[in-house]
Amino acid sequence: MRNIGADVTVVRGDVCHMDDVIQTVSACNKTGYAIGGVIQAAMRIDADLFHRMSSEAWHSVIQPKVTGSWNLHKALEVYDATLDFFLMTSSVSGSVGSAAESNYCAANAFLDGFARWRRAQNKTAVSVGLGMIEEVGFLHENPEIEAMQLRKGIQPLNESEFLQIIDLAIAESMSERNNATCYDLTKPHILTGMEPMGIREGFEGYSSGVGEFAATDPRMAIIAAAMTAHGATESAKPHAKDLEHLAANIPWLKNVNLHAMASLISKIDAPSLEIGALALIRERFALMLLTVPDEIDNHRLLIDFGVDSMLGAEFRTWLWNAFRVDISFLNILSSGQTLATLARKVAENLAVKG
Ligand SMILES: NC(=O)c1ccc[n+]([C@@H]2O[C@H](COP(=O)([O-])OP(=O)(O)OC[C@H]3O[C@@H](n4cnc5c(N)ncnc54)[C@H](OP(=O)(O)O)[C@@H]3O)[C@@H](O)[C@H]2O)c1
């Protein structure tokens, strides 16, 4: 930054401590320049299932975003009339959720609401919901979380695209500051990584499950509609009547619920419900491990594949979405569990409950 002419002062501190934030604001004042804006990008990650997440883990992730943004808001209050931007880096996870990251999702959802709240008071603010940055940053250094986002159909941004989005967010904040008498409440939240065409490509790459949240979550109605307009999966989904008609000729498919029927329709050549379910489960499991189904041994213990709490939670959600069968997280991770035993459980459950 210095090489391109910037005057840089580094102040080390914790954004959750008001004293440190005030010290940073004083350091800015000492430079003799006016404070133009703030970029709040602090974050911590401490993932676990919500029901067993410690209070410490919850707060360590919440605080840098919630307390930190609040401290910046208070410390810069006297500059609000002249601030050009108050930019917070949020995440798409705050909008669509993320397995085993309830604390991180809540912290980012706060930023999105906080930006709106500041704007409602005629103060500049924007929360940029980032999908996933390639090449640099936390996700790049944590490929397992990056892989999870990819499986959800979220498209990565490279460094240059990321900088363009930050540029756009700042430019928009500045133009509003200069032109508007009152802020546009539709603009404080910019969501990235969820372009319909990219999600559609995600759907097309895999036979089941990718990005189903986008098609089924009512908050994603606009994206789902854009995908449907382009002839994507939603329009290709069979209707209940078509499903029942198809199932009438396949004895093992007849009595299962409609969700399971829609999922299993691609496996109608299977000789039984259990074998059809196993093929589908194996396909999904391979996708989660970013490999091909042929590489997966149906009788190998799931824990030996390195299934951790994040993968386990994601797998459980998928099993529910695909079959409406609830297999507990502990059950998935229990010793002795394989894809074959899991498929048997799913088939037994479907046979009993439909
Ligand atoms: N990278 C991505 O793909 C991605 C995707 C979605 C959203 N985001 C968002 O983008 C932002 C930056 O992400 P990143 O990938 O650059 O993460 P990162 O490499 O982990 O950087 C986070 C920074 O926050 C600092 N920090 C944490 N707690 C702090 C506190 N209490 N006070 C002051 N600083 C604190 C950390 O400092 P220390 O290292 O000194 O602890 C670290 O420098 C985050 O808000 C994140 O939610 C990133």
Give the pLDDT score at 76. 97
Question: Measured between alpha carbons, how far is 302 from 323 in angstroms, rounded to an integer?
Answer: 19
What percentage of the chain exceeds 70 in pLDDT? 85
Q: Is the pLDDT higher at 214 or at 329?
A: 329
Give the pLDDT score at 317. 87
Q: Candidates 23, 43, 59, 141: which one to mutate for ligand 1, based on the most atoms within 8 Å of Cβ?
A: 43
pLDDT band (50, 70, 90) for residue 202: low
pLDDT band (50, 70, 90) for residue 208: very low
Question: Measured between alpha carbons, how far is 109 from 85 in angstroms, rounded to an integer?
Answer: 19
pLDDT band (50, 70, 90) for residue 209: very low
Q: Which atom of ligand 1 is nearest to the CA of 107?
A: 47
pLDDT band (50, 70, 90) for residue 207: very low
The whole-angstrom distance between residue 138's C-alpha and the CA centroid of its chain comes to 14
Binding-site residues, ligand 1, Cβ < 6 A: 14-16, 41-44, 64, 68, 89, 91, 130, 132-133, 137-139
Give the pLDDT score at 210. 39
Query: For 52-56, 75-79, 129-133, 232-236, which range has the lowest pLDDT when averaged over its residues?
Result: 232-236
Q: Could you report the per-residue pLDDT of 23-81, keeping only the tens digit for each?
A: 999 999 999 999 999 999 999 999 888 888 999 999 999 999 999 999 999 999 999 99
Q: Which atom of ligand 1 is nearest to the CA of 93?
A: 6
Q: Which domains does the chain have, with CATH numbers?
A: 2-194 (3.40.50.720), 195-237 (no CATH), 239-353 (1.10.1200.10)
The whole-angstrom distance between residue 40's C-alpha and the CA centroid of its chain comes to 20
Give the pLDDT score at 108. 97
Alpha carbon of 42 to ligand 1 centroid (Å)? 4
Give the pLDDT score at 204. 55
Alpha carbon of 64 to ligand 1 centroid (Å)? 9
Q: Is the pLDDT of residue 236 over 60?
A: no
Q: Could you report the per-residue pLDDT of 241-299, keeping only the tens digit for each?
A: 677 777 777 888 888 888 898 889 888 889 999 999 999 999 999 888 877 889 899 99
Alpha carbon of 39 to ligand 1 centroid (Å)? 11
Give the pLDDT score at 155. 76
Query: For 63-67, 93-97, 229-233, 344-348, which range has the lowest pLDDT when averaged over its residues?
Result: 229-233
pLDDT band (50, 70, 90) for residue 111: very high
Q: Candidates 138, 148, 189, 191: which one to mutate for ligand 1, based on the most atoms within 8 Å of Cβ?
A: 138
Q: Is the pLDDT of residue 234 over 90?
A: no
Q: HEC states along the chain?
A: CHHHCCCCCCCCCCCCCHHHHHHHHHHHHHCCCCCCEEEECCCCCCCCCHHHCCHHHHHHHHHHHHHHHHHHHHHCHHHCCCCCEEEEEEECHHHHCCCCCHHHHHHHHHHHHHHHHHHHCCCCCEEEEECCECCCHHHHHCHHHHHHHHHCCCCCECHHHHHHHHHHHHHHHHHHHHHCCCCCCCCCEEECCCCHHHHHHHHHHCCCCCCHHHHHCHHHHHHHHHHHHCCCHHHHCCCHHHHHHHHCCCHHHCCCCHHHHHHHHHHCCCCCHHHHHHHHHHHHHHHHCCCCHHHCCCCCEHHHHCCCHHHHHHHHHHHHHHHCCCCCHHHHCCCCCEHHHHHHHHHHHHHHHC
Question: Measured between alpha carbons, how far is 126 from 103 in angstroms, rounded to an integer?
Answer: 21
Give the pLDDT score at 169. 94
Alpha carbon of 46 to ligand 1 centroid (Å)? 12
